[in-house]
Amino acid sequence: MKFDAAKAEARPFDWAGLGWLFLFFWYFSGVTQLLIQVTGTSGFTGFRQAFLLSGLWLIPVLLFPARTRVIAAGLGALLWLASLPAFGYFLIYGQEFSQSVIFILFESNVAEGSEYLTHYFAWWMVPAFLGYAAGAVLLWTRLRPVHLPRGKAMVVSLALLAALVGYPAVKQSLGNISFAAARDSFEKRMEPAVPWQLLVGFRQYRQQLAEMDDLLQGNARIAPLTNFKDANAGLPATLVLVIGESTNRQRMSLYGYPRETTPNLDRIRDQLDVFDNVITPRPYTIEALQQVLTFADEQNPNLYLTKPSLLNMMKQAGYKTYWITNQQTLTKRNTMLTTFSKQADEQFYLNNNRNQNARQYDDDVLPPFEKVLADPAPRKFIVVHLLGTHMSYQYRYPSEYERFTDRQGVPASVTDDQLPTYNSYDNAVLFNDHVVSSLIGRLSGSRANGFLLYLSDHGEAVFDPEHPQVLGRNEAAPTAPMYTIPFMLWRSSQWRAEHPQALGGSLDRPYSSSSFIHTWADLAGLRFDEFDPSRSVVNAAFQARPLLIGDPHQPKALIDFSLIKPKAKPRDLEVVSGARASASRKAPPG
C-alpha cells in the first residue's frame, strides 16, 4: 500500500503502536537485564543503558513504516540470536555476559565445553528458551506501522541517533585524553545492549588477548633465577598463597577491631602467625600485585617485565602451579592479572561478570580448591585470588552474613547516611573471614605438608575515624586504611616440625608487601642470587626500611607511610556504647 503523507499528517500520532515497537526491540536486551535487576546481581547502569539503546531500532521502522513487520521480523531474529548467549549464560551461571566469557569459551577445548554443558544442562532450560522465543513472537504479532510524515520521520530518526550515539560519543571524546580511552568509555555504555554485547566483547577480547600474549612472550624470554637451590627439593609440599582484596586489617577483630568481624580466624589464632605492621605500596590491585608477585618494588617498578615472577620461581622449584580466581578475568584493567594466571599450569576462572559491582561470592573458590588439593602432584603451589571486600560491599556476601545492621561497635563519627555502607563493609569482612578460614580448614583437613599465607592486595577507607568522610582509595590523598593490610601465616604441624622457625620476633616488624617475593622464597626454603634476606620479614637478617607508598614512576611523589600512620589501634577508637546503639535506628545495608 502506497504511503499517503497527507493522511499521515492528519491522523493522531499512534503512541501505543510506538510503545509496542519499543517493547519488542527492548525485549532482547531487557529480559536478561530485568533478571539481573530482580535477582540483585548487579547495579542499575546496565539496565538503563540497554533500555536507552533499544530506541535505536525504532529508526528503520519509522523511516519505512510500510515494511514495519518485515523489518521487525528480520531485526528481531538477529537480536534474538545475539541475545541467546547472554540469556543462557545468566540462567546457568547467574552472571552477566562479558568479554571474559568469550575468553573462557575460546580458551576451552571441545572436551571441556562438553563437560560444562553436561554438568550445567537441566531440563528446565528447554522450556525457558522456548518461552523466551515465544515472548518475542507474541510481541511481534502486536506490532503495527507508526506513520509519520517523511520529514518528521527523518528528524526523529536523526534525533534518536544523535541522542543515543552521537552525544555519548562526543561526550566521551571530549572527556578523555586519547581516542582509545574515549572508545573504551563509549563501548562500556553500549555493551549492556544486544548485539553490542557480542561485538564489543569480541573486540575487547581480541585487544586484551593481544596485550596478554605480548606480556607472556616477554615473560617467556626472561632468564631463570641464577644459582637456584631448594632446601626441600623433591619433598612433597603444598604451598598456598591467598590474595585478598580491599581488606583493611583495622576492620578485623583479629587485629583488635571491637566488632567480631573475624570470629573463625580469632578461634584459630594460636595456629596463626599474625603480622601486624604490614602495608601495601599502592592502593590499587594491579599496581600492588605487580610488586607483590615479582621483584619489582617502589624504587625498581619495571622489574616485573625483566625478572621472573613468583609463578616462574615456583615452577623453577618443580612445583605444579594453579591459579584460582574470583576476580574478573579478561578486562582492560585485569589483563596483567590474567597474564600472571596464565603463567600457572592450571587456571580456574570463576567470575566472568561484565560489571565488578555484581554479586559474586568468594566461597565459589572452595570446590576448585578441594579439586586441586586432591591432585596427586606431590608438589603444588596454589594461588587463590579473592574478590574479598571490594566495592560495592553489599555484593560481597550472602544475606545470612548480614549481621551488622545497627550502631553497636560503630565509631561515633559515622553518620546515619554513612552507616549502611559502614555496616556492609564489616559484613563483607565477616564473610571474607569465613572464606579464608575455610581454605585453611580444607588445607588442614587434607593433611598436606605445607603452609598458607594470606594477605590483601591493599586496604580500603570506609568512613574510618581518622578521616570520617573518606570512602574508597585515592593515592593522591592517602589515608592509613588504604594501605594497612592483613598478613598472616598458617603452617601445618608437619611443616612446623620440619621447619622449626620461631616467628614471634618478626610479627611487629615494619614491612611492605613490595618485598613479598623474598619472604615467600625464605618460607619455601628457596635460595638464589637475586634473593635478599634483608627484605624477608621472617629472616634474621631483615632490615627495616622506609615504607614507601605512591606512584613509583613519579619518585618525587613517594612518601614514607609513617607520615600518615594512624595514632590509635582499632581497639582504642571511640565507639558508640551498647545502650546508645540499641536505641539507634536500624539501617539496611548499602
Residue 438: exposure state from Cβ atoms within 10 A (0-12, 13-18, ≥19): middle
Tell me if 25 is assigned to some domain. Answer: yes
**Does position 568 have pLDDT exceeding 50, yes or no?**
no
Of 204, 220, 248, the position where a domain reaches its end is 204
Tell me if 455 is assigned to some domain. Answer: yes
Single-letter amino acid code for the residue at 36: I
Q: How many domains does the chain have?
A: 2
Tell me if 209 is assigned to some domain. Answer: no
Bridge partners (DSSP) of residue 128 are: none
SS3 of residue 322 by DSSP:
strand
Query: Do 444 and 553 have their domain in common?
Result: yes
Confidence of residue 215 (pLDDT cuts 50, 70, 90): confident
The separation between CA 436 and the C-alpha centre of its own chain, rounded to angstroms, equals 17
Of 146, 181, 204, the position where a domain reaches its end is 204
Confidence of residue 137 (pLDDT cuts 50, 70, 90): very high
Tell me if 401 is assigned to some domain. Answer: yes
Query: Do 146 and 288 have their domain in common?
Result: no
Q: Which residue has the higher pLDDT, 187 or 345?
A: 345
Tell me if 218 is assigned to some domain. Answer: no
Most confident of 158-172, 252-266, 494-508: 252-266
pLDDT digits (tens, 9 = 90+) for 52-67: 999 999 999 999 999 9
Sign of CA dihedral 229, 234, 235, 239: positive
Q: What is the DSSP string of 517-583?
A: HHHHHHHHTEE-TT--GGG-TTSTT------EES-TTSGGG-EEGGGT--SS-GGGS-B--HHHHHH
Residue 141: exposure state from Cβ atoms within 10 A (0-12, 13-18, ≥19): exposed
Q: At 461, phi and psi to the nearest 5? A: -90, 125
Query: Do 559 and 478 have their domain in common?
Result: yes
Residue 226 vs residues 308, 313, 531: alpha-carbon distances, Å: 11, 11, 10
Helix, strand, coil percentages, rounded to 5, for the chain: 50, 10, 35
Name the strand (E) or helix (H) holding 97. Answer: none
Tell me if 590 is assigned to some domain. Answer: no
Query: Do 200 and 240 have their domain in common?
Result: no
Of 183, 204, 225, the position where a domain reaches its end is 204
Tell me if 449 is assigned to some domain. Answer: yes
pTM for the structure as a whole: 0.71
What is the residue range of 84's domain? Answer: 5-204
Query: Do 266 and 406 have their domain in common?
Result: yes
Confidence of residue 170 (pLDDT cuts 50, 70, 90): confident
Q: What is the pLDDT of residue 185?
A: 78
Bridge partners (DSSP) of residue 229 are: 527
Query: Do 440 and 515 have their domain in common?
Result: yes
Q: What is the pLDDT of residue 168?
A: 79
Residue 397 vs residues 180, 362, 469, 510: alpha-carbon distances, Å: 35, 8, 24, 32
Residue listed under C-alpha cell 631483615: 542
CATH of the domain at 492: 3.40.720.10
Query: Do 307 and 415 have their domain in common?
Result: yes
Contact 298, 554 (CB under 8 A): no
Tell me if 221 is assigned to some domain. Answer: no
Lowest-confidence pick of 20-29, 159-168, 300-309, 392-401: 159-168
Query: Do 251 and 303 have their domain in common?
Result: yes
Query: Do 429 and 567 have their domain in common?
Result: yes
Q: What is the pLDDT of residue 564?
A: 84
Query: Do 483 and 559 have their domain in common?
Result: yes
Query: Do 98 and 161 have their domain in common?
Result: yes
Query: Do 199 and 250 have their domain in common?
Result: no
Distance CA 90, CA 564 (A): 44
Q: What is the pLDDT of residue 508?
A: 97
